[in-house]
Amino acid sequence: MPEALSESVTFADVEGAAARVAGRAHRTPVATSRTLDARLSCRLFFKCENLQRAGSFKFRGAFNAMAQLDAGARSRGVLAYSSGNHAQAVALAGRELGIATTIIMPTDAPLVKQRATRGYGGDVVLYDRSLMIDTMVFLWQRMKLIVEPTGVLGIAAALHGVVAVDGRRVGVVLSGGNVELGQAGEWFKGRL
């Protein structure tokens, strides 16, 4: 395993992240409910990340990661795949840091999420989920790989001409683990 992957997150890493997001991310409140405490016989604490910039905790991670990019990476921009909160977080972090962002979103992503992502400065590129399923089937039939739906977006974009790859050397990250076989059976029905 590469050394970077074998390292654990340290307290110093957390402190560094906190310093990078200070003044950028909101310090969201913690709420309580006596009614729920009584009903559940415990003390509940709700961290209100719905009040965070871009509407979720994901802004912290996006900003922290993007703030650590070197000048070369920043100049190339950031590409992300999301239909919601992560999309908005990356677009907002990019705007704050002066980094161009392209967000790949499904055509059926909620309009409010698409508009917010664009409003934060993200260049939104929409894709058709059926192309994703066709790509999953292709990978299964030809490469014997089960890849999760969002894990095929990069290769789907290349296979279906959304992204020009002719003559280029292209790396595509595949991910898996979030595939329910019953759902995959429904997606693949009539395509195998």
Residues belonging to the active site: 58, 83
Report the candidate in 54, 73, 56 with the shortest Cα–Cα distance to residue 65.
Answer: 73
C-beta separation of 83 from 114 below 8 A: no
Q: Is residue 100 a contact partner of residue 74, using CB atoms and an 8 Å limit?
A: no
SS3 of 135-161: the string is HHHHHHHHHCCCCCHHHHHHHHHHHCC
Instruction: Decide if 81 contacts 59 (C-beta within 8 A).
Output: no
Chain position carrying tokens 């974009």? 157
| Alpha helix segments (H runs only) across the chain | 3-6, 11-21, 34-40, 58-67, 71-76, 85-97, 111-119, 129-138, 153-159, 181-188
